[in-house]
Amino acid sequence: MAYKKFSEQEIKRAAETDIVDMLRRQGEELKAVGSEYEWKHGADRITIRGCQWYNHYEERGGNAIKFVQEFFGKNFKEAMEYLLGGTAGELKTSKPKPVEKPKQKTDFQPPNRNESMRRVYAYLLTKRGLDKDVVSAFVKQGLIYESADYHNAVFVGEDKNGKIMHASLRATGDKSSFRGNAENSVPEYSFHWYGKSDRLYIFEAPIDMLSYISMNKEGWEQHSYAACCGVGDRVLWQMLKDKPEIKKVYVCLDNDEKGRMFDEKISDKLFEKGIASKILIPKHKDWNDDLRALQAEQAEQADQAEESGEDEEADLCQGLQL
């Protein structure tokens, strides 16, 4: 059977299919994250904008044709027929944006600050169980604040001169799971802490980073920490560039298939550059799960100790009465 040839116009039309619209037609759930959408596919977290997609764990992406091949298990011919076949003329198309020159860092504007930190403190300390002293240290340095508009928790990333270059946002309300990065944030400067020692700990998200520190408080300020914030490992290499005294990197990503794969990938890159590394894996899905499990265990032990004390007191009183 002769292989069906597609015209350049057909290929262009298929490639420009709006992926979000296509997935929604199939009943798939997507979450808006800033100007993009996030789609969960197994352990993969895929970012989608118009006809383009990107897998942050595997650091690859493409257009709508490649998307159908990758996630629907079709070859090129099948993908083309799927995109142009029975739904031809129905799906919206999104023309790929022309390649733009990188925006100047001065284009970035962090969210306006709220007058109080009430909602952010409640979210971080009560809902997430983070240590108050740890959170306060970051707040004091201006690295965590509450936004004025939606009362999001804002995790700030600065360059080595103290200029704000990045802002990672996290909803604090019970009815929203929003998270994302402020527009024009510079990925190389996502949420981090500069220490004086030769150690750097790298995490997937700010909450993970703060959870680990909360469980390992002794002398934590002396070390450096960074959260990838969904933009790959670019902050890692910027930290190593800004602080050449760092000699060992602790890779502390999530305990799932993709997290473990990214652990190994980063470690391999560090090995190639002659930098020592060690992988630290949370017992549960992530470091905040570990923190909450530890707190639950400690609370249970405290209750048992209190009950034991009450029993001993009751026994003593009964003995005195005798």
Q: Is 187 within 8 Å of 105 (Cβ atoms)? A: no
What residue ranges do the domains of the chain occupy?
8-84, 111-290
Q: 170-185 as b/e, with b when 16 or more CB fall inside 10 Å? A: bbbeeeeebbbbbebb
Q: Which two tokens stand for residue 185?
A: 């944030």
d(Cα 315, Cα 94) in Å, to the nearest integer? Answer: 77
Contact of 65 with 77, CB cutoff 8 Å: no
Residue 42: what pLDDT?
64
Q: By C-alpha distance, which of 87, 13, 20 is closest to 50?
A: 20
- Lowest-confidence range among 101-110, 113-122, 223-232? 101-110
CA end-to-end distance (rounded Å), the chain:
101
pTM of the complete model: 0.70
Q: Which pLDDT does position 177 carry in this prediction?
A: 78
CA 49 from chain centre, in angstroms, equals 18
Average pLDDT over residues 199-212: 97
pLDDT band at 316 (very low <50, low <70, confident <90, very high): low
pLDDT of 232: 82
The third-level CATH classification (topology) of the domain covering 111-290 is Rossmann fold (3.40.50)
Task: Report the b/e string of 276-292 with b at 16+ CB within 10 A.
Answer: ebeeeebeeebbbbbbe
- Write out the DSSP string of 15-77: HTB-HHHHHHHTT--EEEETTEEEEEETTEEEEEETTEEEETTTTEEE-HHHHHHHHH---HH
How confident is the model at residue 194, as a pLDDT?
96
**Per-residue H/E/C for 247-278:** CEEEECCCCCHHHHHHHHHHHHHHHHCCCEEE
Q: Model confidence over 172-195: pLDDT tens digits?
A: 988 777 888 888 899 999 999 999
Is residue 322 pLDDT above 70, yes or no? Answer: no
pLDDT of residue 180: 85
275-311 pLDDT, tens per residue?
A: 999 999 999 999 999 999 999 999 989 888 777 766 6
Residue 87's pLDDT is 42
| pLDDT attached to residue 258 | 83
Q: How confident is the model at residue 32 (pLDDT cuts 50, 70, 90)?
A: confident
DSSP string, 185-209: --GGG-SEE--SSSEEEEESSHHHH
CATH topology of domain 8-84: DNA Primase; Chain A (3.90.580)
